[in-house]
Amino acid sequence: MAEQVILREVGLRDGIQMAKCFLDTKHKLDWALRSQAAGIREMELTSFVPAKVVPQFADAEELAKYLPQLSGIVASALVPNLKGAERALAAGFTHINYVLSVSELHSQSNVRRSTDEAIDEFKRIVALKQTEAGKNMVLGVALATSFGCTLQGHVAPERVFEVANIVAAGGADELIVADTVGYGNPVEVKALLEPMMDIAAGRRVVCHFHDTRGLGLANVAAALDVGVRVFDTSLAGLGGCPFAPGATGNINTEDTAFMLESMGYSTGIDIAALLELRCDVESWLGDERYHGAIARAGLPKTFTMNS
């Protein structure tokens, strides 16, 4: 029996947050349902940011109404602050991913708070978790720009570990280590993730890589080497970054599933079904950058899925 690796599909959140067109709720639901049917077991479904900041997520509450149809999936929502966490809980989400940037400049740019102020907000979300309303909350904390930042450049690993220790000790259920701008390489991935597994002390550790500079899958392989078994991925490698013209988005779901299955891990994902879904997503979204080698070259003749 092959060892399992979980790919958490983030196309409906990270993938479309910069898309030029608003993807209507019906298509978002179709994407989620067909991902579920294709074997995806976790999805970040939407984001509770103010609609005036990211109009794409104006229908977050509306989409949440369909959560009962998605019972085969662990559906999570991103939140930038306490207010977002309250909205997500009220809408019916239990899995919440709070983003906290380790880079001071990125944190200020993203949420107009210093990293320390963002840690204070994390503590307020933990306080919410301890109320009746929040008692079922599973709280992931994403450490954004853990491998560097397009604004401030270098981000000290010591600071990443310091923040990780604070959130792990302070009530986070899961640590999401994010290479927000695609700066990391396999050596740095091992150097950062090995201590992170210790800091997590049994909590789940998720890697969130962007393929901006082509090292996404090499970084996945490095993270596997130090024990990471959950990765954020995006259908068609969708996404982008306002600070990196021409950049790709998250690592590609289809390609990551292909690599993992080839390496002997089991993802449960039907890659052919994802490629069909991808075609429809392209027709819905129109002019975006779609990435991925398997969509271009096909699966090898020698490919078989693991079970």
Active site residues: 241
Quick one: three-class SS letters along 172-228? CCEEEEEECCCCCCHHHHHHHHHHHHHHHCCCEEEEEEECCCCCHHHHHHHHHHCCC
CB of 293 to a copy of itself, least distance (A): 3
Residues in Cβ contact with 277 at an 8 Å cutoff, skipping those fewer than 6 apart:
31, 34, 35, 38, 235
Decide: 14 and 239 in contact? Cβ < 8 Å. Answer: yes
Helices (H), the chain: 25-37, 60-64, 82-91, 104-111, 115-129, 157-170, 186-200, 216-225, 253-262, 271-285, 293-297
CB of 286 to a copy of itself, least distance (A): 20
Tokens matching residue 21: 């067109």
Output phi, psi for 144, to 5 deg. -70, 155
Burial of 1 (0-12, 13-18, 19+ CB in 10 A): exposed
CB of 40 to a copy of itself, least distance (A): 19
Residue among 68 and 245 whose Cβ is closer to a copy of itself: 245
Residues in Cβ contact with 248 at an 8 Å cutoff, skipping those fewer than 6 apart:
182, 210, 211, 212, 216, 237, 239, 240, 289, 291
Residue among 78 and 260 whose Cβ is closer to a copy of itself: 260
Which residues are at the interface with a copy of itself (CB under 8 A)?
A: 148-150, 153-154, 181-183, 185-188, 211-215, 217-218, 220-222, 244-248, 252, 255, 258-259, 262-264, 292-294, 296-302
Beta bridge partners of 9: 43, 233
Residue among 58 and 305 whose Cβ is closer to a copy of itself: 305
CB of 237 to a copy of itself, least distance (A): 9
Decide: 239 and 248 in contact? Cβ < 8 Å. Answer: yes
CB of 194 to a copy of itself, least distance (A): 15
H or E segment and range at residue 96 = strand 95-101
CB of 31 to a copy of itself, least distance (A): 22
Residue among 45 and 274 whose Cβ is closer to a copy of itself: 274
Residue among 126 and 217 whose Cβ is closer to a copy of itself: 217
Residue among 87 and 210 whose Cβ is closer to a copy of itself: 210
